[in-house]
Amino acid sequence: MKETIFEALMVADKEKIHSQIIYWVLNHNNISFSDKVIFLNDFLNLNLSSKIINPNIEVVTEYKSIDILIIIDGNIIAIENKLKSSEHSNQLNKYDEILSNDFSRRTINKYYLTLIDDVKKNGWVAVKYDVLKNSLLKIGFKNDTGDKFILSQYLQTLTNLNGVSDEFLNNLKNFKCVFEDGNKSKHKKMSKSYKSDFGEFSPTQKYISKFNLETILQKAYLINLVKSMKLEYDYKIEETRGNALIEYIIIPELSYNGNNYEIGVQFQKYTIKVNLVNIEYQSSKSC
């Protein structure tokens, strides 16, 4: 695994860095408008044309808490960046309201960027970082500058992140630390006395510990598990205190004494819980 400048500076896991790279590419004068359109079409499965009257792309990061907002030829593209966490539907509902209020007469395309396999939520389409990497490979610079080095370093960073995820899912038995370390501090995980419990860490295990990827990898495992089981129950995959959990919704709505409840069975690490949740209270917490 080749270390990149982003990893050396300890920012490879920072969502804001990944958002700013997309901003940098779409605002860069050394990249043609047509290449930017090709990138967006490939990255987000769009059908934008490079032959428009006003060949301009407007990009804003942190637009009312939405990570990336792109405006091109009357189209609105919203991207939420979720590297180490999965997207919560209540959060997406809040962004939906912002977009509807601010761009009611525009075509709105909504995506969230994720390291792991995920499903479409509330109209937001999941796009993996692996797709971002492959789409960036189509970018060309007009002039030979240091920009190529920056992009090549970023592409290698994405290769490393995706490679770690793939190796974990293909060799679960080698990654007991992922399931044990989700709530531990980086100092604790990297200490010699702690690592001796598992033996010497492999480069991939060190990378996971260094960038605190345990929780999102636990979620990747749970998503794969759900797909393989093909159960008919609705489910939610979330996290508390660094440990991923899966909850199967057994009864989606139960009315009692004027209140509506949701009943589910929750699995997290070594525990099983039966949850009874007041639906109205749960919704109010997300506001």
Q: How far apart are CA 287 and CA 284, in angstroms?
A: 6
pTM of the model: 0.87
For the chain, the average pLDDT equals 89
Model confidence over 235-259: pLDDT tens digits? Answer: 888 899 899 999 989 998 899 888 9
Alpha-carbon dihedral 18, 164, 43, 78, rounded to 10 degrees: -50
Model confidence over 4-41: pLDDT tens digits? Answer: 999 999 999 999 999 999 999 999 989 999 999 999 99
Contacts 24+ apart (CB under 8 A), 78-81: 78/108, 78/109, 78/110, 78/111, 79/19, 79/22, 79/111, 79/112, 79/113, 80/111, 80/112, 80/113, 80/124, 81/15, 81/16, 81/18, 81/19, 81/112, 81/113
pLDDT band of 287, cuts 50, 70, 90: very low
**Residues contacting 230, CB < 8 A, separation 6+:** none
Task: Say what percent of the chain tops pLDDT 90.
Answer: 58
Q: Identify the weakest region by mean pLDDT among 113-117, 141-145, 193-197.
A: 193-197
Q: At 95, which helix (H) or strand (E)?
A: helix 89-102
If phi over 0 gives left and psi between -120 and 50 gives alpha, with beta otherwise, what is residue 73?
left
pLDDT band of 146, cuts 50, 70, 90: confident
Tokens of 240: 């508390």
Beta-bridge mates of residue 69: 60, 78
Domain ranges in the chain are 5-162, 231-285
According to DSSP, the β-strands at 125-128 and 107-114 are parallel
